[in-house]
Structure 1
Amino acid sequence: MDDDALHILLLLGFHRSNREIVRRIKKEGLMPGQPKILEYLWFHNGASQKEIGRECIIDKSTVTSLLKRMEKLDLIRKEVRLEDQRGVSIFLTEKGWEKARYIRQIIYSIDDEMWQGIELEERQQFIRTFHRIIDNEKTWGD
């Protein structure tokens, strides 16, 4: 295997960080995908189910299932959209905000561990380069 191939590095980086996130939040009783939704709603409270699925990279049926469970856990609430009676907006509840805050602490502590020993300038350059890689991928379409 080519250890310097970008696709391999991306796969390893995602797999390892995701596995550690799942390990650390296991005791919170959340299913895979739910922490992503909590973090997304932290920044986009009131998003539609479709937006959540697209931005969290979760298929429609899985988003539906995850949101139903999150609603039962009182992490989110749904409101009918005034502009579109068929759609709903998803909001964090007070309990959801607390859980999201805790999840963000875990996720950002993992980020800090991964950045360990890497100077700020190197971090900033890496982030700029990674954004360019993501932009290049956007040309592929969906």
Structure 2
Amino acid sequence: MAFDRMDSATYLASLLAKNFSRALQERSQKLGFAPGQFPILLELWAEEGLTQKQLLDRMDIEQATMANTLSRMERDGLISRRKHPGDKRAQQVFLTDKAKAMEADAKDAALAADQSLLSGFRRFERELLLEYMRMAIANGTRT
């Protein structure tokens, strides 16, 4: 049996991720953030003052990637880091006024990216796709 990449969930998921990232990139550039920063922004909009370790635990990315992304976000004026009052080795991450002000527009940009890629889907198809994606992600965390 020949391997057909268009029947490979792994291959298709990779393409889909690239497409979503590209769709968000087009919208996020105007606002002043990169698609790779969006998950961190979402975490900090939900709860400020997290440490880098807490962000790592919540997002399941590599330490070096997190450190580089936070450095870029600090350079771009999206976050500031302060020493943790209870742990001298740790720093807490806080949003700047610039990042706080862009929350609604950034979330709207992400929704617009979703809608552009899922146009033509009926509501139940979209809901099923999201449920299947959540199931696949959960399966991946168990392996």
How far apart in 1 are the matches of 2:47 and 2:62?
18
Unaligned residue ranges in structure 2 (runs of 5+):
none
Give the equivalent residue in structure 1 for 2:117: 114
Contact 2:21/2:35 (CA < 8 Å) preserved in 1?
Answer: no
Q: Equivalent of 1:23, from 19, 22, 26?
A: 26
How far apart in 1 are the matches of 2:35 and 2:135?
28
How far apart in 2 are the matches of 1:127 and 1:35?
19
Give the equivalent residue in structure 1 for 2:38: 35
Question: Post-superposition, which runs of at least 4 consecutive aligned residues in structure 1 deviate over 6 A?
Answer: none
Deviation at 1:15, TM superposition (A): 1.0
Deviation at 1:47, TM superposition (A): 1.8
Q: Equivalent of 1:105, from 108, 111, 116?
A: 108
Between the two proteins, the alignment pairs up a number of residues equal to: 140
CA 1:66/1:134 → structure 2, altered by over 3 Å: closer, same or farther? Answer: closer
Give the percent of matched residue pairs that are identical in Structure 1 and Structure 2: 26
Q: Equivalent of 1:76, from 75, 79, 97?
A: 79
List per-residue Cα deviations over 1:111-136 (Å, max 9, x = no partner): 12223222222222222222221121
Unaligned residue ranges in structure 1 (runs of 5+):
none
Deviation at 1:54, TM superposition (A): 4.5
Give the equivalent residue in structure 2 for 1:125: 128
Secondary structure, counterpart of 1:74 in structure 2: coil
Match status 1:67 vs 2:70: yes
CA 1:83/1:139 → structure 2, altered by over 3 Å: closer, same or farther? Answer: same
TM-score normalised over the length of structure 2: 0.79
How far apart in 2 are the matches of 1:73 and 1:8?
33
Deviation at 1:98, TM superposition (A): 1.7
How far apart in 2 are the matches of 1:135 and 1:62?
22
Contact 2:24/2:35 (CA < 8 Å) preserved in 1?
Answer: no
For the aligned residue pairs, the C-alpha RMSD in angstroms reads 2.4
TM-score normalised over the length of structure 1: 0.79
